[in-house]
Copies of this chain bind each other. A is one copy, B any other.
Amino acid sequence: MTIDVGAHLKAVRTLHGLSQRELAKRAGVTNGLISLIEQNRVSPSVSSLKKVLDGIPMSLADFFTLDEVQGPDVFFDKETLPDLGSGPVSLRLVAARRGNRAMAILQERYQPGADTGEDMLSHRGEAGGIVCRGEIEVTIGSQSRILGPGDAYYFSSSTPHRFRNLGTEVCEIVSACTPPTF
């Protein structure tokens, strides 16, 4: 999916009834830059594009998601779910592909020995999940525990955390977090 950032920005801008100069003023950039971006004469930096979109306003996630095919938003085949990692830890995302979702649902698979590491990002919001298969050691701040099938966790996501599969079996978790924008 080749993204035509320029045409896309122009469409979004005009849809909101803004001129290049109006948007530039709101965004804190020059009108010339917006002109150049819309002609695809430059590829804006993420920070610049974010400034521009803030003037609309629109999130980066929404901007890049608008191009995606608008399939039925109720069912998701597992083949079409975005795969985030084919390594020791794999994630498959259900919702949150569109910006207006209230939450995201993930299927996580941890290979034996898999370790998310200590320095995971954390933001506002809450998250929780249920272990479906296998066992996994979950560490939150100072607390640590090994969860098995049927066990669960729930937390507000501002705490450092870590998932480690210490066993010899694959561990599967289904989790949800809200809000889905980070």
Contact = CB atoms under 8 A, between A and B. Distances in A.
A121 B8 contact: yes
A174 B129 CA distance: 9
Interface residues of A, number: 111
Tallying the copies of this chain within the complex gives 2
A59 B69 contact: no
A78 B3 contact: no
B154 A74 contact: yes
A159 B76 contact: no
A106 interface: yes
A21 interface: no
A105 B130 contact: yes
- 6 closest cross-chain pairs (CB), A and B: A71-B161, A78-B150, A73-B155, A72-B153, A70-B157, A176-B176
